[in-house]
Amino acid sequence: MGVDLSVHTTILRDITVKTNTNPSSEPILRLSGITKQFAGALALKNVSLRLFAGEVHALMGQNGAGKSTLIKVLTGVYPADEGVMLMEGRPIAAASPLESQHLGISTVYQEVNLCPNLTVAENIFAGRYPRHGAQRAWAINWALINSQARQWLGRLNLDIDVTQLLSSYPVAVQQMVAIARALSISARVLILDEPTSSLDDDEVERLFKVLRQLRDEGMAILFITHMLNQVYALCERITVLRNGELVGEYLASDLDQAALIAAMVGREVKAVTSTLGPASAEQQAQAPVLLQAKGLARGKQLKPIDLTLRQGEVVGLGGLLGSGRTELARTLFGLDRSDAGTLSLHGEQVHLESPVQAIARGVGLCPEDRKDEGIIGELSVRENIALAIQARQGLWPFISHARQSQLALHYVNALGIKTADIETPIAQLSGGNQQKAVLARWLATQPSLLILDEPTRGIDVAAKQEIMSEILRLAHEGMTVLFISSEMDEVVRLSDRIVVMRERAKVGELPGGGTEQDVYAMIAEHAA
């Protein structure tokens, strides 16, 4: 059912008036009139924010709404052009993230910002290693570091070897280590930017339990996420930004999801669902086979799997983190080499030894790790979009600047990529717009098979619907899509068929039109 914006506009106006009245206690942190420009482009305009001790506060908005810029102004990455920041009533103006930590503000960013070549314990205490007593003040107390690191991770119910390199652990564990580091700094304010994007449901609940405990101990927590259900599970208050401006501050209890979406987007947003009915499903089963894997395996990373993908269908991979979804995607794209089984594309048996070979055969992959495997931050939006099509046709002939610009402008407009210019370095875009640019890169190659590994991670609700609409449109035109998402409701809504995985093996398939519970039930049936 669509959102009645006229009704919700009235609701939002009433709520804004009510919640802008002074509460019984003063905020621990107050930002007023914050304005920030970059090269003449207004990123923030007269934005205000209040955080109270003992409260979890959600900061919401679409990609490019100004959330990350506001956090970077608060934490000293950028100076504000205008505005005032008060901490417990005293003016503050951190000149660096280190200064903001000294002020009692600790931040965990969406992309894990740690050192993979250091141990877990070293990452938690980097820059502030405890030393021995006066007689050995020059010596780092490694025993104490390791002991305290275990204690902080214990608060997150995480029991791992803290002396191992961070790189030896998966992204989900690295995210928990980043949170442990933030907690270990004596902070009054904790800022979490998409902290659950790499966590499964059990890990999310474990984190929420810790955050509720910190809230009850009097910490002020600013929580940034695109997962609306998490907002209502954790947060008491919501601040919404749109296009760099403040829409309003609301009590979560007074604002339902439809009204929140209306506040963030400013227009009606309808859920996208696969329209494949029983008749078309039968017809789809007769479509030409595009890819067929038989007993495809890779050591301990992927157990032998049989998989058939037909032309023009969206196949979802259902499974929890660690189930082998990404490992399968990497093997199908030639990033990892299979050591058993066979793989056929367009009826021809192939053995992919590199992504270049996969691209040449019409396969594209939007990777899970956008930062390290998706974008090249120093290159422009134009150059990032042109990368895959250049790789597909080889180093020569070189795609002209004019042709690159034509492609980039087409997909910037088609996907609604928010950028000042196609020559803007892609690192300057918001995470969601970077994700759209990576998707544009592969669409430009016109692949016959597009593998999407977490394509909506860290993307706002409107952008998710735009991307999912584009996926269904491409499938309707004959492209095959293999869709991976940690948000099971997306997999169920979008897929014509769902391949269910557990413990790096395929455990079954489900037809489209089912429920999340159907997927979880199949996973549970095959528990060891």
**Does residue 87 register a pLDDT over 70?**
yes
Q: What is the mean pLDDT of residues 420-445?
A: 84
Q: What is the mean pLDDT of residues 142-171?
A: 87
Number of other residues whose CB lies within 10 A of the CB of residue 44: 27
- The label of the residue with tokens 């920030």 reads 36
- Residue 18: predicted pLDDT: 40
Using CA atoms, how far apart are residues 164 and 528, in angstroms rounded to an integer? 28
Q: What is the mean pLDDT of residues 407-423?
A: 85
For the chain, what are the domain ranges? Answer: 5-104+186-265, 120-177, 287-362+447-528, 377-446
**Does residue 3 register a pLDDT over 60?**
no
**Does residue 508 register a pLDDT over 70?**
yes
Q: Do domains 5-104+186-265 and 287-362+447-528 have the same CATH topology?
A: yes
Helix (H), strand (E) counts: the chain: 18, 20
Q: Tens of pLDDT along 95-150?
A: 888 888 889 898 887 666 788 899 999 989 887 777 776 666 678 888 888 998 99
- Residue 134: predicted pLDDT: 61
Query: Considering the domain 5-104+186-265 in this protein, what is its CATH number?
Result: 3.40.50.300
Q: Which of 79-88, 96-105, 372-381, 389-398 holds the top average pLDDT?
A: 79-88
- Residue 191: predicted pLDDT: 93
Using CA atoms, how far apart are residues 307 and 73, in angstroms rounded to an integer? 48
Using CA atoms, how far apart are residues 427 and 267, in angstroms rounded to an integer? 28
CB 259 within 8 A of CB 56: no
- Residue 158: predicted pLDDT: 83
Q: Which helix (H) or strand (E) holds 16?
A: helix 5-19
267 vs 176, more confident: 176
* 59 strand-pairing partners: 224, 239
Q: Tens of pLDDT along 234-261?
A: 999 999 998 899 999 999 999 888 888 8
Q: 210: pLDDT confidence band, cut at 50, 70 and 90?
A: confident
Q: Which residues of 283-303 are buried (b: 16+ CB within 10 A; e: fewer)?
A: ebeeeeebbbbeebbbeebbb
170: nearest Cα among 327, 364, 337, 328: 327
Q: Tens of pLDDT along 328-343?
A: 999 999 988 999 999 9
369 vs 327, more confident: 327
Share of the chain above pLDDT 70, in %: 87
**Does residue 10 register a pLDDT over 60?**
no
Q: Which helix (H) or strand (E) holds 70?
A: helix 67-74
User: DSSP code of 288?
Assistant: P
CB 220 within 8 A of CB 28: yes
Number of other residues whose CB lies within 10 A of the CB of residue 134: 6
Which CATH number, 3.90.550.10, 2.20.28.270, 3.20.20.150, 3.40.50.300, labels domain 287-362+447-528?
A: 3.40.50.300
Q: What is the mean pLDDT of residues 349-370?
A: 86
CB 452 within 8 A of CB 481: yes
Cis? peptide before 397, omega within 30° of 0: yes
Tokens (6 digits) for 33: 């009139």
